[in-house]
Structure 1
Amino acid sequence: MIRLGEHDLSTEGDCQTLPSGVVCAPVHQTFSPAEIIPHPTFNRRGTIGDDLALIRLDRPAIFNNQSHSISIITDFVRPVCLPSANHDTETFLGGRFATVSGWGVTERGPDTQILQKVLLPFVNQDECNPHFNNGLLQEQICFGGDGPRDSCFGDSGGPIVGTTANSPISVLLGMVSFGQPSCGVAGVPAVYTNVASYRPWILSNLKP
């Protein structure tokens, strides 16, 4: 089962009380996979290498947003942009942090019901690789090491996105892959699948 537009797993509807009244998101959308396409060399290179798959939905997703009376635009389901094949994440971010999100383990434990997000710094491979026995692939990138803020168990496969300095458009920089046995350790980043490295493969598997 695939679900879009979900926020709080413990409720059927996601609502927020604002000064102008209660605002609710559209009902989440649930899909079945029409096709699952794992990367052909998943786990054949390095430590959890080529860690990604494509899922084709059984019907088109509905993109939606809602304008509040206080002039705030909230996007509930919207597409994310793929990076270019020659995308350089460090240059793209220019020192800005990226946002990772998921329902994984937090400092409060594993029963996270509300979608969490956190801002993380990019860490280059020269700094990250020694934490993983210098075994990282070129197609892997790292984020984190900034104190307790981190992705963790249960976040795997989740997105980390960034925006340009002058645009709110989100770019999918990576997906949570793996880390150390303890999350949120200062100075220790986690490893993400670098989406830019797989753009040709992703495009080759798209259908109208």
Structure 2
Amino acid sequence: MIDLTTDPYDLFATWMAKAQESELNDPNAMTLATTTPQGHPSARIVLLKSWDRQGFVFYTNLESRKSGEIRANPHVALLFHWKTRKRQIRIEGTATQVSDAEADAYFETRPRLSRIGAWASDQSRPLPERKLLEQRLESAVVQYADAPVPRPPHWSGWLVTPSAIEFWEDRDFRLHDRAVFTRAGDDWSATRLYP
């Protein structure tokens, strides 16, 4: 049973640690939901790269569709689903861009070819043929052959500061255990929900 007196960040840490033990691929994968300018839902999988009591961070091209949607409406939702653990966590909050220093620090940890790929890809824009991307990648490999790969100005991260975090755990006969933690200033209030 989900303990309503638990700090939601501590509970997130516990559930994430368990997911890392059992999920074979990307336990940090999460669905990011945004909205289009017309108000339509838009979702895709991104990877959680860091988190703390300020929020949850992922990185992307700032010229991508998701970044454009976030700039137009910073209210987003995240969803972690760990089928092997029969658990999910829903997070609702507001996204803000991380600092250049934080983006630079994370960018340096990426594999070299991933850093070069950030220069080669016009993420989310039409690609006439795959060969064009491969040519751009080859050109960038040559350009940075003997040099460090700097972070492109169009590549950074988004911090999602949560206003609500809901924990869901599977139970027999669909009588699941659900609890939502809602931010009230610096504090959290918790409510158990019907399944």
Q: TM-score range by the shorter chain?
A: 0.3 to 0.5
Structure showing greater relative contact order (alpha-carbon pairs closer than 8 Å, 6 or more residues apart): 2
Larger Cα Rg: Structure 1 or Structure 2? 2
TM-score, normalised relative to structure 2: 0.39
TM-score, normalised relative to structure 1: 0.37
